[in-house]
Chains A and B, each alone.
Chain A
Amino acid sequence: MRLRQRPPIDQGAVPWLLAVALATASPHAENLPPWLSLLFAAALLWRAWLWRQRRPLPPRWGLALLVLGALAGIAWHYRSLLGRDSGVAMLVLFMALKPLEMNTRRDALVVVMLGFFLLLTHYFYSQSIPTGIWLLASCTLLTAALIRLHGGAQPLADIVRQAGLLLLQALPFMLILYLLFPRVSGPLWGLPQDAHAGRSGLSSEMAPGSISSLILSGAIAFRSQFAGEMPERADLYWRGPVLDSYDGLTWRSSAQQTGRPRSAPAIESKGAQYSYTSIIEAHNQRWLLALDLATSLPAGATQAPTLEVLAREPVRTRSRFSFTSSVDYHVSRVEAAAILQQALTLPEALNPRARALADRWRSRPPARIADAVLSMFRNEDFHYTLQPPLLGVNAIDDFLFGTRRGFCEHYASAFVFLMRAAGVPARVVAGYQGGEVNPVDGYLIVRQSDAHAWAEVWLAGEGWVRYDPTAAVAPSRIEHGIVAALPEGEPLPGIVGLDVDWLRQLRYRWEAANNAWNQWVLGYNPQRQREILSRFGIPNADWQSMSASLAILCGVALLLVTVWTLPRRRRADPAQRAWNRYCTALARRGVTRAAWEGPLDFARRVAVERPHLAALTSEAARCYAGLRYGQGNSEQLLVLQECVHRLPARWRKNA
């Protein structure tokens, strides 16, 4: 029975709370199973309908059944109730169903608190600028809902203005905490196992279609900023995994088998050295996509025997790496036998026609064989397209003598197969080719649509030499990018194929803004924090000096806010101030005057609840009533102020 006596919810606040539920949970729709999103929408609509029709809420046992059923659904869908995704799903479920039992003001507060909590979970999935703006707006809405709950009906504009003002007052504290709170490297708490699921990028395998699906994504793979000159576009080969093992269908990286410790590869660079810093998006793999060929590596990275640069751990968050590379080089004039052997291995009994063709070239010098293959691609009826016909079991034969339509992975694959069949060590290299300079901030942006595969051939005396068979078929792919190379009418991601000038400008600005956000807001790590602090005259800040400056700045901000709000309080007249102080003092001792309660009523209540304060409070109330509502005199004001001073002593005497 006690539950029923809780103050009921103000019906006018219900739309606010439904808006809160919608704003805080709806962005999760893309991560949730569709049935849960539908359940959420249905629950909210139902609640809104009940509110409009002024009907009673559904019975508790019905809700309990619904919760159990939905929990079972979540457990079944995620195979667990633990972990990031199922945890978020449960929070959304609670947010959907709590409004259906929202009878009391306490329930409404639960909804608001759940909303604040749900806000945080969005950062598991996205930390972009739109997310930040959405969450800021939701935070304002939550605050407004709280104001509506406690302050009663007011015009919409007043509530929103008040909420905005409150958040504005919190802004200095937010900035100070953001800048000065001692940071730890890495996440503050361990993310669950599934936190890094579903990142796109190159994989360590190349099966038919794996690159073309990547090419259709306009997502950014990484950004690079060169310290000085930038190499020519045709030299921008960003090295990813080296695929040197072929089973007739899929090219794989055998680095796991051959990756043993050895000395750094012998690199003789001939031309200029290029220094650059890359900000690599999370892709959950170890390779770092250095420009071919890296001569100096970021700290902690190693160069694999097959020359790709590997980080110690998979790249799970957006990270910065600095490299130096040379685009004109000789590498591994002397190569390990195991690697050369791997670069000659082919599956038996597949692609007989391609083998026969290669056998005819066997007597020629290796460089001439490569030229022969390239000139075949160039001069015969080969086409570059992202929509190749399907290939059979003898994929290379079908491609070379049948369909003759494909893109980089087909050409690289066929080229390497022919070279190996002709007895020349060769391998496929996956990575990215090209990129696009953003004129707004000067960064070179490399997208998933720049994904590419090319070939490397080992020539005695020269080492590994890059051959790009795609360039033979479609030279514009290398010189101008994928848009120029594709035939008319082939679909491309809208973001890559943009040719409207102002839209392109807008996109450049947006990506530059994102880049700045990534570097200055998301990438604000302990090192940057130390840099900023030393700029403000605190060199080598440790956590103690940081905490000290944190406390000092928060104090100053608090002081400023107080100074700003004080003049408003002063406007109250002396009688009002004295009475307010009296009431505040009583509230601290457990008797709170309701905002609507008149002085004499309050005094009567105090007389019942705290009999020893009856006389004092009654006198104070009478004086205040006379001052405020009658034609009071200065004597009454003195008595009232005297009462304020006597209250603590009177309290102690009887405590």
Chain B
Amino acid sequence: MPATNNASPVNRILAAANSVILGKSNQTRLALCCLLARGHLLIEDLPGVGKTTLAHTLARLLGLQFARIQFTSDMLPADILGVSIFDRERSSFRFLPGPVFSQVLLADEINRATPKTQSALLEAMEEGQVTTEGETRPLPEPFFVIATQNPSNQIGTFPLPESQLDRFLLRLDLGYPDRDAERALLESGGSREQLPALPACLGDGEFAPLQRQAAAVYASPALLDYLQLLIEASRREQRFVHGLSPRAALSLLAAARAWAFTDGRQMVLPEDVQAVLPAVARHRLRLISGSHADAEDIAALIRSVPLP
């Protein structure tokens, strides 16, 4: 399999990201895949494990314009979308765009906002445009939301409803760093301050071609057979309340393509599907017991489906 020239920018991005976020190469790669597949990313974990750093780093490395909203419970939709103010000099209203008008939007602790505010953001994610005061304004291209969320059993949160979770292509959790990574972190004293100085790996307009190449990775009939078997197995499995939706199937394919692309391949393999399946499926599958599927459930699902 000849390595493509496009593999190198991807590898550069990953190498740079891994030098900032220590010991999380799999999560970093999944996050990059999510952006390559034009999806939005949800990172869910405890405070202080590096959610914000990951989002910020990716935005910097991809050379994209970055904005950040810290969600609180008293935040209103206008705080995100922007407001019109009266310009005395011109005697007319002038629209002041909110933080949503950026290429990478880091929505920190999205589950602290009220459902009304959440849905304003989610609508923008879905439509790629914002409608306020009867006027529709397009969002910049590309537009990503990287939302972070504390586990919803913490006090004072509004958990995202199922239908809105589905808008996120992937969901990650970071987990504690391993011993060595934590030691390195302690020795370097944290890298948050160096972030603004991080050099971008891609120039302006270089990311869109990468996205197009990722979407063009070949998925053979045999691979689609396998993917369908997995989806069907999720619908038949009695532990889950319901199976994966067709939209989830599309997301799975897109994410698997991006994963294959980051591996420098021009075809999707079952391994790619298996690698992204936990991130695609865990927030979409709910167990009979009420909680979301955990990694072991997804592994069992994978093990129950032989390759065709």
Interchain CB contact under 8 A, A630 and B267? yes
Within the complex, the shortest CB–CB distance from B170 to chain A, in Å, comes to: 20
Residue-by-residue, is B1-44 near A (CB-CB < 8 Å gives 1, otherwise 0)?
10000000000000000000000000000000000000000000
Interchain CB contact under 8 A, B266 and A630? yes
Cross-chain contact of B268 among A152, A153, A629 (Cβ < 8 A): A629
Instruction: List residues 616-655 of chain A with CB under 8 A from any CB of chain B.
Output: 622, 625-626, 628-631
A596 to B274, CA, bound (A): 10
Is the CB of B238 closer than 8 A to any CB of chain A? Answer: yes
With a cutoff of 8 Å between Cβ atoms, the chain B residues found around residue A631 in the complex are 218, 220, 267
Question: Number of A residues contacting the other chain (C-beta, 8 Å)?
Answer: 20
Residue-by-residue, is B48-81 near A (CB-CB < 8 Å gives 1, otherwise 0)?
0000000000000000000000000000000000
Is the CB of B289 closer than 8 A to any CB of chain A? Answer: yes
A153 to B220, CA, bound (A): 26
With a cutoff of 8 Å between Cβ atoms, the chain B residues found around residue A594 in the complex are 303
Interchain CB contact under 8 A, A596 and B220? no
Residue-by-residue, is A307-322 near B (CB-CB < 8 Å gives 1, otherwise 0)?
0000000000000000
Interchain CB contact under 8 A, A630 and B238? no
With a cutoff of 8 Å between Cβ atoms, the chain A residues found around residue B126 in the complex are none
Cross-chain contact of A596 among B223, B239, B288, B307 (Cβ < 8 A): B307
Interchain CB contact under 8 A, B239 and A11? yes
Interchain CB contact under 8 A, A153 and B289? no
In the complex, identify which listed stretch (A167-175, A469-477, A598-606) lies at the interface while the others stay far away.
A598-606
Interchain CB contact under 8 A, A626 and B267? yes
Interchain CB contact under 8 A, A153 and B1? no
With a cutoff of 8 Å between Cβ atoms, the chain A residues found around residue B223 in the complex are 629
Residue-by-residue, is A132-155 near B (CB-CB < 8 Å gives 1, otherwise 0)?
000000000000000000001100
With a cutoff of 8 Å between Cβ atoms, the chain A residues found around residue B307 in the complex are 595-598
Interchain CB contact under 8 A, B269 and A596? no
Give the interface SS of chain B, mostly helix, strand, loop or mixed: loop
A257 to B304, CA, bound (A): 76
Interchain CB contact under 8 A, B220 and A628? yes
Is the CB of B249 closer than 8 A to any CB of chain A? Answer: no
Is the CB of A12 closer than 8 A to any CB of chain B? Answer: yes
Is the CB of B123 closer than 8 A to any CB of chain A? Answer: no
Interchain CB contact under 8 A, B271 and A152? no
Interchain CB contact under 8 A, A598 and B270? yes
Is the CB of B302 closer than 8 A to any CB of chain A? Answer: yes
Interchain CB contact under 8 A, A625 and B218? no
Given that A594-B303, A596-B302 are contacting pairs, would A54 and B289 also be in contact in the complex, using a CB cutoff of 8 Å? yes
Is the CB of B236 closer than 8 A to any CB of chain A? Answer: yes
With a cutoff of 8 Å between Cβ atoms, the chain B residues found around residue A12 in the complex are 238
Question: Number of B residues contacting the other chain (C-beta, 8 Å)?
Answer: 25
A597 to B270, CA, bound (A): 8
Interchain CB contact under 8 A, B306 and A625? no
Interchain CB contact under 8 A, B271 and A598? yes
- The chain B residue sitting closest to A604, CB to CB, is B271
A323 to B233, CA, bound (A): 69
Is the CB of B182 closer than 8 A to any CB of chain A? Answer: no
Within the complex, the shortest CB–CB distance from B20 to chain A, in Å, comes to: 27
- Centre residue among B220, B223, B239 by max chain A CB count within 10 A: B220
A594 to B303, CA, bound (A): 8
- The chain A residue sitting closest to B304, CB to CB, is A152
A153 to B243, CA, bound (A): 14
- The chain A residue sitting closest to B230, CB to CB, is A596
Instruction: List residues 238-297 of chain B with CB under 8 A from any CB of chain A.
Output: 238-239, 266-271, 274, 288-289
A350 to B307, CA, bound (A): 92
A153 to B302, CA, bound (A): 13
With a cutoff of 8 Å between Cβ atoms, the chain B residues found around residue A153 in the complex are 233, 236-238, 304
Interchain CB contact under 8 A, A626 and B1? yes
Interchain CB contact under 8 A, B269 and A600? yes
A431 to B51, CA, bound (A): 95
Is the CB of B305 closer than 8 A to any CB of chain A? Answer: yes
Within the complex, the shortest CB–CB distance from A632 to chain B, in Å, comes to: 9
Within the complex, the shortest CB–CB distance from A286 to chain B, in Å, comes to: 61
Interchain CB contact under 8 A, B303 and A596? yes
With a cutoff of 8 Å between Cβ atoms, the chain A residues found around residue B304 in the complex are 152-153, 596
Is the CB of B208 closer than 8 A to any CB of chain A? Answer: no
Is the CB of B184 closer than 8 A to any CB of chain A? Answer: no
With a cutoff of 8 Å between Cβ atoms, the chain A residues found around residue B237 in the complex are 153
Within the complex, the shortest CB–CB distance from B289 to chain A, in Å, comes to: 7
- The chain A residue sitting closest to B307, CB to CB, is A596
- The chain B residue sitting closest to A8, CB to CB, is B300
Within the complex, the shortest CB–CB distance from A95 to chain B, in Å, comes to: 25
With a cutoff of 8 Å between Cβ atoms, the chain A residues found around residue B195 in the complex are none
- The chain A residue sitting closest to B223, CB to CB, is A629
Sample 28 A-B pairs with CB under 8 A, ordered by A number. A11-B238, A11-B239, A153-B233, A153-B237, A153-B238, A153-B304, A595-B306, A595-B307, A596-B304, A596-B307, A597-B307, A598-B307, A599-B269, A599-B271, A625-B269, A626-B1, A626-B267, A628-B220, A629-B220, A629-B223, A629-B268, A629-B270, A630-B1, A630-B218, A630-B220, A630-B267, A631-B218, A631-B220
**Those 9 A-B pairs whose CB atoms lie nearest each other, nearest first:** A595-B306, A630-B267, A598-B271, A598-B270, A152-B304, A629-B220, A629-B267, A601-B271, A629-B223
